[in-house]
Chains A and B, each alone.
Chain A
Amino acid sequence: MPLQVQDSGLTGPLGSLGSLGRPALLAALAFALIGLTLCALGAARDRRDLAAAGIRAVVATAAFVAFATFCLLTAFFAHDFSLDYVASYSSRSLTGPYTLTALWGGVEGSLLLWTFLLTVFAAIALTRAPARRSALVAWAGAVLCGISIFFLVLLAVPANPFAALASVPADGQGLNPLLQSPGMLIHPPLLYTGFVGFSIPFAFCIAALITRRLDDSWLRATRRWTLFAWSALSVGIVLGGAWAYTELGWGGYWAWDPVENASFMPWLTATAFLHSVVIQEKRRMLKVWNVSLILLTYVLAVFGTFLTRSGILSSIHTFAEGDTGKWFLPYLAVMLLGGLVLIGSRLDSLRSENRFDSLLSRESAFLANNVLFVAAGFAVLWGTVYPIVNEAFSGVRLSVGPPFFNRVFAPIGLALVALAGIGPLISWRRMSKGTFARVARPPALAGVAAVIVLAAGGVRSIGALLALGISVFTAAAIVGEFARGSRVHRRREGSTWPESLRRTLTRNRRRYGGYIVHLGIVLMVIGFSGNAFKVERSAELAPNESMTVGAYSLTYVDHSSASTPEKEINEAVIAVSRGGERIATLRPQRNFHIAQRQTQSEVAIRTTPAEDLYLVVTSFDADATIVLRSFVNPLTWWIWAGAAVMLAGMAVLLWAPAPQAVPGPAPVRVRRTEVATR
Chain B
Amino acid sequence: MTTKQVPLATRPPRLKFAIGGAVVAVAILGLISWAMGRPGSTSFYMTIAELQAEGPSGVAGAYRVNGNVVPGSLEQQGIETSFAISDGAARLDITTRQPLPDAFSTAYENDPAAVEVVAEGRYDGQKLTATKVLAKCPSKFKTQA
Residues of A within 8 A of B (CB): 88, 173, 176, 178-179, 248-250, 314, 316-321, 355-359, 364, 368, 371-372, 375, 378-379, 382, 386, 396-401, 403-404, 407-408, 411-412, 428-430, 435, 538-540, 596-601, 616, 618-619, 627, 629, 668, 670, 675, 678
By a CB distance below 8 angstroms, the chain B residues around A319 are 142-143
Q: Is the Cβ of B16 less than 8 Å from the Cβ of A403?
A: no
- Give the most central of B13, B28, B141: most A CB within 10 Å: B141
A521 to chain B, nearest CB (A): 20
Q: Does B102 contact A (CB under 8 A)?
A: yes
B28 to chain A, nearest CB (A): 4
**Size band of the B side of the interface?**
35 or more
Q: Does B24 contact A (CB under 8 A)?
A: yes
Q: Is the Cβ of B102 less than 8 Å from the Cβ of A601?
A: yes
Against A, the Cβ 8 Å flags (1 = close, 0 = not) of B88-116 are 00000000010110110110011000000
Sorted from nearest, which 7 A-B pairs have the closest CB atoms? A618-B99, A397-B45, A404-B41, A407-B35, A403-B40, A540-B78, A375-B28
By a CB distance below 8 angstroms, the chain A residues around B21 are 371
- A319-B142, A355-B9, A670-B3 as given contacts; A399 in contact with B100, CB under 8 Å: no
Against A, the Cβ 8 Å flags (1 = close, 0 = not) of B32-69 are 10111011111111000000000000000100100000
By a CB distance below 8 angstroms, the chain A residues around B9 are 355, 357
5 pairs from A and B in contact (CB 8 Å cutoff): A356-B12, A359-B20, A407-B38, A407-B41, A411-B31
Selected from B1, B34, B102, B140, the residue in CB contact (under 8 A) with A321 is B140
By a CB distance below 8 angstroms, the chain B residues around A668 are 3
B42 to chain A, nearest CB (A): 5
Q: Is the Cβ of A248 less than 8 Å from the Cβ of B145?
A: yes
Q: Is the Cβ of A314 less than 8 Å from the Cβ of B17?
A: no
Name the residue on A nearest B118 (C-beta). Answer: A314
A-B contacts counted at CB < 8 A amount to 146
Bound-state CA distance A407–B142 (Å) is 29
By a CB distance below 8 angstroms, the chain A residues around B118 are 314
Q: Is the Cβ of B8 less than 8 Å from the Cβ of A357?
A: yes
Residues of B within 8 A of A (CB): 1-3, 6, 8-9, 12-13, 16-17, 20-21, 24, 28, 31-32, 34-36, 38-45, 61, 64, 76, 78-79, 97, 99-100, 102-103, 105-106, 109-110, 118, 120, 134, 139-145
Bound-state CA distance A178–B9 (Å) is 59
Q: Is the Cβ of B144 less than 8 Å from the Cβ of A430?
A: no
A230 to chain B, nearest CB (A): 23
Bound-state CA distance A678–B13 (Å) is 23
Q: Is the Cβ of B43 less than 8 Å from the Cβ of A616?
A: no
Selected from B16, B41, B42, B105, the residue in CB contact (under 8 A) with A599 is B105
Selected from B13, B20, B42, the residue in CB contact (under 8 A) with A401 is B42
Q: Is the Cβ of A629 less than 8 Å from the Cβ of B2?
A: no
Name the residue on B nearest A430 (C-beta). Answer: B6
Q: Is the Cβ of A179 less than 8 Å from the Cβ of B143?
A: yes
By a CB distance below 8 angstroms, the chain B residues around A88 are 140
Q: Is the Cβ of B16 less than 8 Å from the Cβ of A359?
A: yes
By a CB distance below 8 angstroms, the chain B residues around A176 are 141, 143-144
Selected from A317, A358, A371, A616, the residue in CB contact (under 8 A) with B13 is A358
Q: Is the Cβ of A398 less than 8 Å from the Cβ of B44?
A: yes
Bound-state CA distance A477–B45 (Å) is 47
Bound-state CA distance A318–B145 (Å) is 10
Selected from B43, B106, B134, the residue in CB contact (under 8 A) with A398 is B43
Bound-state CA distance A648–B59 (Å) is 47
- A412-B28, A599-B105 as given contacts; A629 in contact with B142, CB under 8 Å: no
Q: Is the Cβ of A618 less than 8 Å from the Cβ of B100?
A: yes
Selected from B36, B76, B120, B143, the residue in CB contact (under 8 A) with A404 is B36
By a CB distance below 8 angstroms, the chain A residues around B6 are 357, 429-430
Q: Is the Cβ of B79 less than 8 Å from the Cβ of A412?
A: no
